[in-house]
Chains A and B, each alone.
With several copies, the nearest count.
Chain A
Amino acid sequence: MNGKNGGLDRSTVTVLLFAGLGEKVGRTLSWPWREGLTVAELLDELAARYPEVAVYRPTVMTAVNAAYRPVDHPLRPGDEVALIPPVSGG
């Protein structure tokens, strides 16, 4: 559950995107990690690169390593960060 991916550099985080957002941007991204990076800052960087992330951002919840986390959560290298659009299971 560390989200560590053997094929990825340890100085990155893995970003997972789902549903419409995943279809538009891609389901998995590798993104550079830096000291002190938070979920919010990661979202800023992704939104600058992917306009769709900026559009979805007001509605997504965020999870780190498969658990919901607030946007001020600090990230560690190798973390798996998920952008969770409004769910529609059931």
Chain B
Amino acid sequence: MSREADGRPRWEARTDWGWFALTEAPIDVGTLSAFVTRPEVGAVNVFLGTVREWTRGRRTLYLVYEAYEAMALRLLQTLGEEVRREHPGARVAVHHRLGRLEIGEIAVAIAVGTPHRDAAYAGSRHIIERIKEMVPIWKKEFWEDGSFWVGDQLERIPYPDGRPPEGPEG
């Protein structure tokens, strides 16, 4: 763990082709896309997960993300390596926010740079799907009437009844 300039915690791993981080500081899209842009790259795909205010009629006020940081960082690197195996030469950056996030903020940014666009799209899509499947990061939603750890309803599929549970966290 290191610190942002303003003292907020940051977990980070950087190689010549990959850049992975968990951070409490805002994510800058341009920095990530610049990292994956190199003379051999012709296509960059960026996926951003942003904090949505409305989910099936329910208003989110803000979110808090928590992670098993050491393991999450290691797994993000593994996902980058998976993309490199599938698309040799790909460049990959994945940054995920932790702590409190307001509506509209970027929770996760994934950038993949490759010579041609098929691989850039496939690579960024692979990473977001795998993050949602197996990277130990958790989201707590805060509503006007309570809060709720997404996934905490003890089913593997959030919102099994098609919408968040009605009550506050029990």
Where the two chains meet, the residues of A that have a C-beta atom closer than 8 Å to any C-beta of B are: 1, 16, 18-20, 22-23, 55-56, 58-59, 61, 63, 66-68, 82, 84-90
Interface status of B32 (Cβ within 8 A of chain A): no
Interface status of B41 (Cβ within 8 A of chain A): no
Alpha-carbon distance between A56 and B138 when the two chains are bound, in angstroms: 15
- Residues A89 and B152 in contact, CB atoms below 8 Å apart: no
Residue A59 contacts which of B136, B137, B154 (CB distance < 8 angstroms)?
B154
Given that A63-B71, A84-B68 are known contacts, is A90 also in contact with B154, CB under 8 Å in the complex? no
Alpha-carbon distance between A90 and B70 when the two chains are bound, in angstroms: 17
Closest CB in chain A relative to B78 CB, distance in Å: 10
What residues of A have a CB within 8 angstroms of the CB of B108 in the complex? 89-90
- Residues A66 and B152 in contact, CB atoms below 8 Å apart: no
Alpha-carbon distance between A63 and B136 when the two chains are bound, in angstroms: 10
Alpha-carbon distance between A23 and B65 when the two chains are bound, in angstroms: 13
What residues of A have a CB within 8 angstroms of the CB of B155 in the complex? 59, 86
- If over half of A's interface residues share one DSSP class (helix, strand or loop), that class is named, otherwise mixed; here it is mixed
Residue B132 contacts which of A55, A58, A68, A89 (CB distance < 8 angstroms)?
A89
Alpha-carbon distance between A63 and B139 when the two chains are bound, in angstroms: 19
Interface status of B3 (Cβ within 8 A of chain A): no
Closest B residue by C-beta to A3: B70
- Residues A87 and B74 in contact, CB atoms below 8 Å apart: no
Q: Which of B74-116 contact A (CB under 8 A)?
A: 74, 96, 107-108
> Could you show 18 A-B contacts with beta carbons less than 8 Å apart?
A1-B70, A19-B66, A19-B152, A20-B152, A58-B154, A59-B156, A63-B71, A85-B138, A85-B149, A85-B152, A87-B131, A87-B134, A88-B138, A88-B139, A88-B149, A88-B158, A89-B67, A90-B128
Closest CB in chain B relative to A5 CB, distance in Å: 13
